[in-house]
């Protein structure tokens, strides 16, 4: 298939590009390096230096991988995006081209506006580029489990049937996100659903939980192919952060009580999920929503697992409960469904001590690169940057 990846330089975009190219798909990636720029601006650079997208594609090809095409440009610019779509005629477009950090979106007005403008414009432009230039293309959009928030009822996969005054109908599951970033994903879903209904778009919206992981089958070819691995408080996700903290010998930063529960998944499983979505496209005029995670864990559960894995490498780990910089429930009901991707064939690799120990081993050589100033929370939900 011809597959277009928007946001091909990102933590998920680059491993996805390699995995799909390795399977024989024709892959074109787009990026404008926005995340790299924002990471520089907020002093949140990734742990290891990542070559730029063009260099990564060259390293991959030199290591025996297939060709990955690269277009540097801004998906929020409609002329650029529609031209790429018209020329490439993708059969599937995977949309990762969003400002991905919840803390970044909560720093202040400028960061909130950038997140809103970028995320909605990229989605809106992709919708129109597909409608105008490649109307049969299947859009696979990365949404987030955070769209649902933490309601006191079970979370369905995207939809809920409601009975009201003796009549029934099916609606999008209620959404109440906990950050402006997560809210942009709610708005994305609404935009996609509107154009599915009005114009017959075909869309899969993947509600993904926080991802952890460092290597994939393709990164074994050359270490320079590793994804950008963030451990800072702004772009780093919690498991990756805790592993780096364990290696640095500093206490794990559990925010508040640590009962916050989310659906997690391994980076390798993200690749499986996206592949399954593409292999099983929906028909025109359908919005399929899949909850993309493999297990639910609290922050305290994760801290204990990281501590146990670190002990195997003789690393002693303390767990610290720091003041929670976010506004979120710290002790709550959480029961989301995730049968859709399993039914499509997902084989989960869970967050076992073996998996965490292997990640710690991979990270040890980078210990001297860890900058402790990036670790403590710097952004507060109530007052922007500290």
Active site residues: 144, 181, 185
Which two three-digit tokens encode residue 144? 């987030």
* Phi, then psi, of 179 in degrees rounded to 5: -150, 165
- Which residues make beta-bridge pairs with 265? 211
Which residue among 141, 182, 202, 305 contacts ligand USQ (CB under 6 A)?
182
Nearer of residues 29 and 260 to ligand USQ, judged by Cβ: 260
The closest of 131, 60, 79 to 70, measured between CA atoms, is 60
Q: Does 34 bind ligand USQ (CB under 6 A)?
A: no
* Tokens encoding 213: 């992981």
| Size, binding site for ligand USQ by CB under 6 A | 21
Q: Which stretch binds ligand USQ (CB under 6 A): 15-23, 140-148, 157-165, 187-195?
A: 140-148
Q: Give the largest CA-CA distance in the chain.
A: 65
Residue 340 found at the interface with ligand USQ (CB under 6 A):
no
- Which of 15, 210, 213, 281 is close enough to bind ligand USQ by CB under 6 A? 210
Q: Which residues pair with 138 in a beta bridge?
A: 92, 202
50 to each of 230, 231, 240, how far by Cα in Å? Answer: 11, 14, 17
Tell which one of 42, 105, 123, 144 touches ligand USQ (CB under 6 A): 144
Considering only 57, 97, 137, 145, the residue that binds ligand USQ (CB under 6 A) is: 145
The single residue among 175, 326, 374, 378 that binds ligand USQ, judged by CB under 6 A, is 326
Closest to ligand USQ by CB, 253 or 357: 253
Scanning the structure block, which residue is given the tokens 């990640």?
Answer: 359
Any contact of residue 255 with ligand USQ (CB under 6 A)?
yes
Q: Is position 359 an interface residue for ligand USQ (rule: CB under 6 A)?
A: no
Minimum CB–partner distance for residue 29 and ligand USQ (Å) = 19
Report the distance separating Cα 277 and Cα 92, nearest Å.
10
| 3-state secondary structure at position 320 | strand
Q: Does 379 bind ligand USQ (CB under 6 A)?
A: no
Residue 198 CB, shortest distance to ligand USQ, in Å, is 27
Contacts of 295 (CB under 8 A, 6+ apart): 263, 264, 265, 348, 350, 351
Written as one string, the DSSP assignment of 162-198 is EEETTEEEEEEPP---SSHHHHHHHHHHHHHHHHHHH
301 binds ligand USQ (CB under 6 A): no
When the beta carbons of 230 and 275 are compared against ligand USQ, the nearer one is: 230
Q: Give the shortest CB-237-to-ligand USQ separation in angstroms.
A: 4
Q: Does 101 bind ligand USQ (CB under 6 A)?
A: yes
Cα angle value 225/138/280 (rounded, 5°): 85
| Site residues (vs ligand USQ, CB under 6 A) | 100-102, 144-146, 182, 208-210, 237-238, 241, 253-255, 260, 262, 299, 326, 328
């Amino acid at each position: 298939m011809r597959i277009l990846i928007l946001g091909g330089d990102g933590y998920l975009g680059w491993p996805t590009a390699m995995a799909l190219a390795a399977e024989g798909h024709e892959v074109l990636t787009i990026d404008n390096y926005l995340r790299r720029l924002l990471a520089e601006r907020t002093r949140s650079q990734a742990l290891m230096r990542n070559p730029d997208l063009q260099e990564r594609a060259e390293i991959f090809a030199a290591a025996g991988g297939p060709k990955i095409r690269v277009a540097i440009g801004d998906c929020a610019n409609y002329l650029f995006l529609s031209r790429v779509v018209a020329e490439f005629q993708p059969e599937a477009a995977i949309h990762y081209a969003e400002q991905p950090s919840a803390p970044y979106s909560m720093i202040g007005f400028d960061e909130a506006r950038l997140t809103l403008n970028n995320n909605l414009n990229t989605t809106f432009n992709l919708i129109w580029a597909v409608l105008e230039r490649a109307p049969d293309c299947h859009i696979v959009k990365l949404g987030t489990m955070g769209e649902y928030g933490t309601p006191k009822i079970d979370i369905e996969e995207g939809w809920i049937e409601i009975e009201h005054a003796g009549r029934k109908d099916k609606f999008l599951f209620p959404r109440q996100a906990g950050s402006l970033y997560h809210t942009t994903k709610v708005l994305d879903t609404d935009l996609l659903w509107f154009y599915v209904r009005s114009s017959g778009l075909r869309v899969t919206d993947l509600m993904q939980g926080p991802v952890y992981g460092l290597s994939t089958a393709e990164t074994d070819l050359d270490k320079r192919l590793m994804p950008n691995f963030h451990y800072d408080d702004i772009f780093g996700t919690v498991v990756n952060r805790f592993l780096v903290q364990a290696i640095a010998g500093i206490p794990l930063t559990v925010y508040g009580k640590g009962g916050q529960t989310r659906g997690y998944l391994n980076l390798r499983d993200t690749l499986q999920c996206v592949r399954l979505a593409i292999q099983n496209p929906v028909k025109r005029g359908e919005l399929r929503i899949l909850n993309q995670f493999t297990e639910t864990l609290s922050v305290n559960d994760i801290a204990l697992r990281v501590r146990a894995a670190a002990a195997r490498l003789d690393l002693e780990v303390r767990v610290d409960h720091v003041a929670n910089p976010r506004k979120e429930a710290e002790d709550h009901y959480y029961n989301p469904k995730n049968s859709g991707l399993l039914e499509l064939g997902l084989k989960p690799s869970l967050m076992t001590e073996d998996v965490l120990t292997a990640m710690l081993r991979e990270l040890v050589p980078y210990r001297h690169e860890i900058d402790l100033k990036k670790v403590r929370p710097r952004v507060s939900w109530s007052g922007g940057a500290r």
